[in-house]
C-alpha cells in the first residue's frame, strides 16, 4: 500500500522519550534493564551488579587514548602515543612499468591504468602465505585535481575520459612492510585493477532477464565494469564485496527529448550526467537514448575474489539494486547469511538480504549470495520494528523485477523512509547492528523521488536533519533472520554549544569535546569498539562551529561514550577502515582532501591534493583495535 504524503508530527517530548531518554537495552526480546539515565553519561561504576555483568559479558572498549581536540589543519592528527604515514595515494603506480605520479599533468590514461585510482573509499585486508593484500574501492574522481591541467578542469578529450574511467573501480594491491612501513609491492601477482570496462558476470534472479539485455550483451548475463564503488563488505568465505552507489550520474542522453521512465526518475537517471565526466560522449554504453537497459546492469553489490586475480567479478543481483553504501555480512544462528544494506539517498530505505542456503564451515559457500530474499525495515515509534519481505505477493513484481527496481518494490510495502542510510556495522560481541543515518535536508520537507512521505518519526526525529544520527537494532531472539527487532538511537548527533536543550543539541553522549556531524563510515574493531567516520560540513561555522574538519571517533556500544581519535586534512572525508592481521596497523581512507582546492595533502611533493590510504600505529608497538 502507498503511504500517505501527509507528514506526521511527533511531539518533541515523545521523540526524546522514545529515541533518547528511555535507554532500553533489549535482549532475547525482553528488557533486561531500563533505568532512565542508564549509560550514556555514566561509567561502569554507576551500574547495578546485574548491569555490570551484562556490560562485561559484551566486551567494553579496550583501547585507551586521550581524546584529541578538533582542528582545521591540512594534515592528519592522531592522539599522543600514535603515529601515521601515507601508504599510497591516487596515481601511485602498482606496476614497475608505470611512472611515478606527475604533479604537472596528473597523469594520462596509460599511467592511470597502471596506478591506484582516485577517491579511495571502503577497503579490506586479505592474506595468503603471509602476504597482505588490500582491496580498495575508488569511488569517483575529483575533476579539479584529475584535470587541473585543463582550462575547463574537466575531461576534454578521449584520453582524459579514459583516464577518469581508469581511476574508478577497485584496486587490489599487495602491501609489504619496509622500514617498518607498509608500502606497495609493485608487480605483485595479486595487483589488479577492476574498472569501468572489466567483464562481470550477472548472477541471481535478474540474470538473463529482458531488462538486463543490451545490444552488446543480448544474453543479459555479462556486463562490463563497476563504478562509484562506495563502501564494502567481506564474506566469511574470504571474498570482497564492493558496493555500487551513485551509478546513475554517469549516464546521459544524446536525445534531449527522451522521455524518462518512472524507474529512471526514481534512480536519478537524467538527460545530463552529474559530474560532467563525458563518458556518454565517447562510449555509447552510457548514452541512455541508445542503450536504455544499460543502467539496469549497475547499482549492485559485486563479489570479487582478491586472491584469485583471474576470477570474474560477480554482480549479486539478489542483494537488490539501489545506491548501495556497504554490505555488512553476518552468519545468523540458523546458518543463513544475512547481509545488511543501506540505500544512501534522502528518504530511501534500509534493507537486509537473507540467503536461501546455509553457511557451511568446510563446504562451498561461493554462491550463497546468488539466491535469497530481500526485506526492508520498518521502524515503529515504540522502539520495535519489522523487516517487511519484498516478494511477488507483497509487491506485485516478479523476483527479477524486485532485484532490478528494488526501490519501487520497497515503496509498495509500509517501510520507513530514512535519513540516508550509510554504513551498517554489526557488533561482533552480540546480535546488535548499527547504521549511520548521515543527514537529510528533505526530512519532513519533501517526499523521496518515488513520492513516499518523509514524516518526522522516532528514528528520524528532526525536520531538515543537518547532523545525522546512529540507530541500532537488536534482532528478536538474537536471530538475524527474525523479522522482528527492537531499536534505539546510539547517538543523536548535534551541536550542544550552538543549540541548547533541543533536538539539535544532540543526545547526552555528544559534547563540546567530541562534536561532529554527518556520521557515515561505521566499523567495529575486533574488541567491539565502534569506529565512526564523518562526511560532513567542515566550515567550522554556524551550526557546525567547533566541529572542524572531518574526523574519526571511537564509540563504546556499552557505555555510549564517544571520543575523537583522528582529524583529517582540509576538505576531506574520512572513509574506509581496516586492520593488518596483527592488528598493529589500522588503515584509514582520506578521501577527496581539498575537494574545493584548499589542500595539498599528503603534501610531500607538490600542491595537488591526492586521496590516500594512511596507516595508523601505536608508538609502543601495541595493537590498535
Residue 245, contacted partner among Ca ion, ligand FEO, none, CB below 5-8 A by kind: ligand FEO
**Contact 403/374 with Cβ under 8 angstroms?**
yes
Number of residues near Ca ion (by CB under 5 A): 3
3-state helix, strand, coil in the chain (%, to 5): 15, 30, 55
Q: Report phi then psi at 413, rounded to 5.
A: -115, 175
**Which one of residues 118, 325, 348, 370 is an interface residue with ligand FEO (CB under 6 A)?**
325
What is the spatial order of strands in the sheet that 372-379 belongs to?
A: 324-331, 336-343, 350-358, 372-379, 384-390, 484-492, 469-475, 433-437, 421-426
Per-position x/- string for 408-437, each x denoting binding to Ca ion as judged by CB under 5 A, each - no binding:
--------------x---------------
Nearer Cβ to Ca ion (82/467): 467
Shortest reach from residue 345's CB to Ca ion, in Å: 11
Separation between Cα atoms, residue 86 and residue 101, nearest integer Å: 15
| Interaction pattern, residues 222-261, with ligand FEO; x per rule: CB under 6 A | --------x--------------x----------------
Give the footprint of ligand FEO on residues 421-460 (CB under 6 A): 422
In angstroms, what is the minimal distance from the CB of 406 to ligand FEO? Answer: 16
Residue with the three cell numbers 595533502: 601
Cα 324 to Cα 342: distance, rounded to the nearest angstrom: 6
Q: Which is nearer to ligand FEO, 138 or 291 (CB)?
A: 138
217 binds Ca ion (CB under 5 A): no
Q: Which does 343 bind (CB under 5 to 8 A by kind): Ca ion, ligand FEO, none?
A: none
User: What distances in angstroms separate CA 59 from CA 253, 523, 528, 533, one per listed residue?
Assistant: 54, 16, 6, 22
**CA pair distance 200, 560, nearest whole angstrom:** 42
Per rule CB under 5 A, is residue 535 in the interface with Ca ion? yes
What does 595 bind: Ca ion, ligand FEO, none (CB cut-off 5 to 8 Å by kind)?
Answer: none
* Three-state DSSP state, 134: strand
Smallest gap from residue 395 Cβ to Ca ion (A): 28
Q: Which does 556 bind (CB under 5 to 8 A by kind): ligand FEO, Ca ion, none?
A: none
What track of x and - describes contact with ligand FEO for positions 526 through 565 (by CB under 6 A)? ----------------------------------------
- In the complex with Ca ion, the residue whose CB is nearer, 160 or 535, is 535
Quick one: what does residue 401 bind among Ca ion, ligand FEO, none, with the CB cut-off 5 to 8 Å set by partner type?
Answer: none
Q: Minimum CB separation from ligand FEO for residue 344, in Å?
A: 3
Using CB atoms within 10 A of its CB, is residue 33 exposed (0-12), middle (13-18) or buried (19+)?
middle
| C-alpha–C-alpha distance, residues 216 and 114, integer Å | 27
Residue 323 vs 564, nearer CB to ligand FEO:
323
Q: What are the Cα distances from residue 488, in Å, to 264, 329, 511, 526, 577? A: 35, 21, 19, 23, 25
400 versus 425: smaller Cβ distance to ligand FEO: 425
Closer Cβ to Ca ion, 287 or 422, answer by number: 422
| Footprint of ligand FEO on 48-87 (CB under 6 A) | none
Give CA–CA dist 117/107, Å, rounded: 11
Q: How far is the CB of 231 from Ca ion (least distance, A)?
A: 6
CB 538 within 8 A of CB 570: yes
> How far apart are CB 590 and Ca ion at their closest, in Å?
11
**Distance from C-alpha of 18 to C-alpha of 34, rounded to nearest angstrom:** 12
Smallest separation (angstroms) from Ca ion to the CB of 92: 20
What's the min distance (Å) between Cβ of 73 and ligand FEO? 24
Residue 50 is classified by DSSP as H
Measured from the CB of residue 503, what is the shortest distance to Ca ion in angstroms?
21
Burial class (CB in 10 A: 0-12, 13-18, 19+), 268: middle
Q: Could you tell which of ligand FEO, Ca ion, none binds residue 124, using a CB distance below 5 to 8 A set by kind?
A: none
Assign 3-class secondary structure to 171-233.
Answer: EEEEEEEECCEEEECCCCCCCEEECCCCEEEEECCCCCCHHHCCCCCCCCCEEECCCCEEEEE
Q: How many residues bind ligand FEO (CB under 6 A)?
A: 7
Q: How far is 417 from 425, CA to CA, in rounded Å?
A: 20
Query: What whole-number distance in Å separates Cα of residue 388 and Cα of residue 373?
Result: 10
* Alpha-carbon gap, residue 446 to 430, rounded angstroms: 37
Task: By CB under 6 A, tell whether 348 contacts ligand FEO.
Answer: no
Write the secondary structure of 498-547 as one string of H (helix), E (strand) and C (coil). CCCCCHHHCCCCCCCCCCCCCEEEEEECCCCCEEEEECCCCCCCHHHCCC
**Shortest spacing between CB 536 and ligand FEO, in angstroms:** 12
**CB-wise, 209 or 346, nearer to ligand FEO?**
346
Query: Is the CB of 89 or the CB of 533 nearer to ligand FEO?
Result: 533
How many other C-beta atoms are found inside a 10 Å radius of the C-beta of residue 11?
9
Residues within window 32-71 making contact with Ca ion, judged by CB under 5 A: none
Q: Are 594 and 106 in contact (CB under 8 A)?
A: no
- The item of Ca ion, ligand FEO, none sharing an interface with residue 196, based on CB under 5 to 8 Å by kind, is none
Give which of 573, 516, 510, 508 is closest to 544, Cα–Cα. Answer: 516
In the bound complex, what is the minimum distance in angstroms from residue 438's beta carbon to ligand FEO?
7
Calpha distance 249→263 (Å, rounded): 15
Residue 350 as a binder of ligand FEO (CB under 6 A): the answer is no
* Interaction mask 125-144, ligand FEO, x per CB under 6 A: --------------x-----
CB 545 within 8 A of CB 498: yes
Question: What does the block give as the cell for 87?
Answer: 601508504
Shortest Cβ contact with Ca ion: which residue? Answer: 535
Cell 603506480 -> residue: 93
Cβ at position 420, least distance to ligand FEO in Å:
7
* Residues 498-527 interacting with Ca ion (rule: CB under 5 A): 520
* CB closer to ligand FEO out of 203 and 534: 534
**Distance between CA atoms of residues 279 and 283, nearest Å:** 6
Beta carbon of residue 325, minimum distance to ligand FEO (angstroms, whole number): 5
Site for ligand FEO in 366-405 (CB under 6 A): none
Considering the rule CB under 6 A, would residue 344 count as an interface residue with ligand FEO?
A: yes
The entry of Ca ion, ligand FEO, none near residue 92 (CB within 5 to 8 angstroms by kind) is none
Please give the residues from 107 up to 126 whose contact with ligand FEO meets the rule CB under 6 A.
121
Q: 386 or 535, CB closer to Ca ion?
A: 535
Provide the minimum distance between the beta carbon of 624 and ligand FEO in the complex, in angstroms, as a whole number.
25
Residues in touch with Ca ion (CB under 5 A): 422, 520, 535
Residues in touch with ligand FEO (CB under 6 A): 121, 139, 230, 245, 325, 344, 422
Amino acid at each position: 500500500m502507498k503511504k500517505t504524503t501527509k507528514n506526521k508530527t511527533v511531539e518533541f517530548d515523545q521523540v526524546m522519550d522514545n529515541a533518547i531518554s528511555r535507554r532500553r537495552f533489549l535482549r532475547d526480546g525482553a528488557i533486561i534493564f531500563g533505568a532512565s539515565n542508564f549509560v550514556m553519561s555514566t561509567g561502569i561504576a554507576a551500574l547495578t551488579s546485574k548491569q555490570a555483568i551484562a556490560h562485561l559479558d559484551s566486551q567494553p572498549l579496550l583501547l585507551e587514548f586521550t581524546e584529541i581536540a578538533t582542528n582545521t589543519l591540512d594534515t592528519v592528527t592522531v592522539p599522543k602515543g600514535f603515529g601515521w604515514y601515507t601508504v599510497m595515494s591516487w596515481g601511485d603506480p602498482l606496476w614497475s612499468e608505470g611512472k611515478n605520479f606527475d604533479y604537472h599533468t596528473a597523469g594520462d590514461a596509460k599511467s592511470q591504468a597502471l596506478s591506484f585510482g582516485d577517491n579511495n573509499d571502503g577497503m579490506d585486508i586479505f592474506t595468503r602465505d603471509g602476504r597482505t593484500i588490500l582491496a580498495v574501492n575508488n569511488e569517483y574522481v575529483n575533476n579539479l585535481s584529475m584535470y587541473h591541467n585543463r582550462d575547463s578542469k574537466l575531461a576534454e578529450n578521449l584520453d582524459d575520459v579514459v583516464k577518469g574511467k581508469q581511476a574508478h573501480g577497485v584496486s587490489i594491491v599487495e602491501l609489504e612492510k619496509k622500514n617498518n612501513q607498509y608500502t606497495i609491492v609493485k608487480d605483485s601477482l595479486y595487483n589488479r585493477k577492476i574498472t569501468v570496462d572489466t567483464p562481470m558476470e550477472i548472477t541471481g534472479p535478474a540474470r538473463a532477464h529482458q531488462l538486463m539485455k543490451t545490444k552488446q550483451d543480448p544474453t543479459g548475463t555479462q556486463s562490463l565494469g563497476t563504478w562509484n564503488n562506495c563502501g564494502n563488505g567481506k564474506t566469511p568465505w574470504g571474498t570482497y564485496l564492493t558496493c555500487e552507489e551513485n551509478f546513475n550520474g554517469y549516464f546521459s542522453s544524446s536525445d534531449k527529448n527522451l522521455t524518462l521512465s518512472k524507474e529512471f526518475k526514481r534512480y536519478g537517471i537524467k538527460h545530463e550526467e552529474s559530474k560532467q565526466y563525458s563518458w556518454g560522449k565517447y562510449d555509447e554504453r552510457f548514452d541512455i537514448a541508445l542503450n536504455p537497459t544499460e543502467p539496469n546492469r549497475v547499482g549492485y553489490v559485486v563479489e570479487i575474489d582478491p586472491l584469485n586475480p583471474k576470477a570474474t567479478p560477480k554482480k549479486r543481483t539478489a542483494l537488490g539494486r539501489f545506491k548501495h553504501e556497504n554490505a555488512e555480512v553476518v552468519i545468523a544462528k540458523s546458518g543463513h547469511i544475512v547481509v545488511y544494506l543501506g540505500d544512501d539517498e534522502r528518504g530511501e530505505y534500509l534493507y537486509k538480504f537473507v540467503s536461501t542456503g546455509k553457511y557451511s564451515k568446510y563446504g562451498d559457500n561461493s554462491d550463497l549470495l546468488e539466491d535469497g530474499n530481500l526485506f526492508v525495515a520498518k521502524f515503529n515509534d515504540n522502539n520495535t520494528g519489522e523487516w517487511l519481505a519484498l516478494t511477488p505477493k507483497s509487491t506485485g513484481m516478479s523476483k527479477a523485477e524486485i532485484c532490478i527496481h528494488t526501490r519501487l518494490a520497497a515503496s509498495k510495502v509500509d517501510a520507513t523512509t530514512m535519513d540516508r542510510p550509510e554504513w551498517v556495522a554489526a557488533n561482533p560481541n552480540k546480535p546488535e547492528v548499527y547504521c549511520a543515518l548521515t543527514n537529510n535536508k528533505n526530512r519532513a520537507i519533501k517526499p523521496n523521488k518515488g513520492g513516499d512521505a518523509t514524516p518526522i518519526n522516532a528514528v528520524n526525529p528532526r525536520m531538515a536533519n543537518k547532523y545525522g544520527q546512529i540507530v541500532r537494532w537488536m534482532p528478536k531472539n538474537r536471530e538475524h533472520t527474525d523479522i522482528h527487532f527492537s531499536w534505539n538511537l546510539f547517538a543523536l548527533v548535534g551541536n550542544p554549544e550552538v543549540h541548547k536543550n533541543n533536538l539539535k543539541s544532540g543526545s547526552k553522549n555528544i559534547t563540546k569535546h567530541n562534536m561532529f556531524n554527518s556520521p557515515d563510515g561505521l566499523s567495529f574493531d575486533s574488541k567491539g569498539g565502534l569506529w565512526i567516520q564523518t562526511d560532513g560540513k567542515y566550515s567550522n561555522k554556524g551550526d557546525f562551529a567547533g566541529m572542524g574538519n572531518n574526523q574519526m571517533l571511537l564509540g563504546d556500544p556499552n557505555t555510549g561514550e564517544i571520543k575523537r581519535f583522528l582529524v583529517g586534512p582540509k576538505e576531506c572525508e574520512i572513509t574506509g577502515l581496516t586492520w593488518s592481521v596483527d592488528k598493529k596497523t589500522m588503515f584509514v581512507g582520506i578521501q577527496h582532501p581539498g575537494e574545493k582546492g584548499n589542500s595539498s595533502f599528503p603534501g610531500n611533493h607538490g600542491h595537488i591534493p591526492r586521496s590516500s590510504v594512511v596507516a595508523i600505529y601505536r608508538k609502543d608497538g601495541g595493537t590498535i583495535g
